[in-house]
A and B are shown apart, each in its own frame.
Chain A
Amino acid sequence: KAGVTQTPRYLIKTRGQQVTLSCSPISGHRSVSWYQQTPGQGLQFLFEYFSETQRNKGNFPGRFSGRQFSNSRSEMNVSTLELGDSALYLCASSEDPVTGELFFGEGSRLTVL
């Protein structure tokens, strides 16, 4: 099986712009989670989707949003970018959202100038 695929891998934006990141989960996995990783805050949970429904959301402002499509692919969007949004954004999928381990993609590294 192919692993979790995230695109783009690297991107540079300027303050005030918006960005959309894409994630294709492992085939058959219906749960997709997103995390933000920064040196200062570590790994922080953004949101989790299952069958197109957002079931959990982390403590992030409304500028951070996401969605999941019927084929389980997911996107996350960050609007009005701030310098502090510079981070590695990781997507993960899981076969079982309760007991199952997460399988992570390589991440999308966002730099905001």
Chain B
Amino acid sequence: AQSVAQPEDQVNVAEGNPLTVKCTYSVSGNPYLFWYVQYPNRGLQFLLKYITGDNLVKGSYGFEAEFNKSQTSFHLKKPSALVSDSALYFCAVRDGSSGYALNFGKGTSLLVTP
């Protein structure tokens, strides 16, 4: 079985401050991890992924995420938040050893205030 948890329903941060959106995962095989962003009434947009290799992954729009195997985490980060980053963020996991389905977390709403 594979699952992902996003412990925070909402994250508030001031513009210019660093932001972190948390994600932990559970898989029986190799974890393939993804972050997506969704703006209102839109589909999901891919931000970044971890498959193998360097634990620090850089993605679109200045976002990055760090894969931590011992803590089974894959937190999304950005050094300096923009108001336009306000959106719904989803972490997702696929068990690389056994499946094709991508399982998503419940999502975290990010609000960046001016």
**What residues of chain A lie closer than 8 Å to B32, measured between beta carbons?**
98-99
- Once the chains are docked, how many angstroms separate the CA of A96 from the CA of B93? 15
**What residues of chain B lie closer than 8 Å to A48, measured between beta carbons?**
100-101
> Please, how many residues of chain B have a CB less than 8 angstroms from a CB on the other chain?
22
Whether the Cβ atoms of B100 and A97 lie closer than 8 Å is yes
Nearest-neighbour CB distance to chain B for A15, whole angstroms, equals 25
> Please, how many residues of chain A have a CB less than 8 angstroms from a CB on the other chain?
24
**Quick check: is A33 within 8 A (CB to CB) of the other chain?**
yes
Whether the Cβ atoms of B43 and A50 lie closer than 8 Å is no
Stretch at the interface among A61-69, A70-78, A79-87, A103-111: A103-111
Whether the Cβ atoms of B43 and A42 lie closer than 8 Å is no
**Quick check: is B44 within 8 A (CB to CB) of the other chain?**
yes
Nearest-neighbour CB distance to chain B for A10, whole angstroms, equals 10
The contact of B99 among A56, A92, A104, by CB within 8 Å, is A56
Whether the Cβ atoms of B96 and A99 lie closer than 8 Å is yes
> Which residues of B approach A to under 8 Å, CB–CB?
32, 34, 36, 42-46, 49, 51, 90, 94, 96, 99-107
> Which residues of A approach B to under 8 Å, CB–CB?
4, 31, 33, 35, 42-43, 45, 48, 50, 55-56, 58, 90, 92, 97-99, 101-107
9 contacts between A and B (CB under 8 A): A33-B101, A90-B43, A90-B44, A92-B44, A101-B34, A102-B46, A104-B44, A106-B42, A106-B43
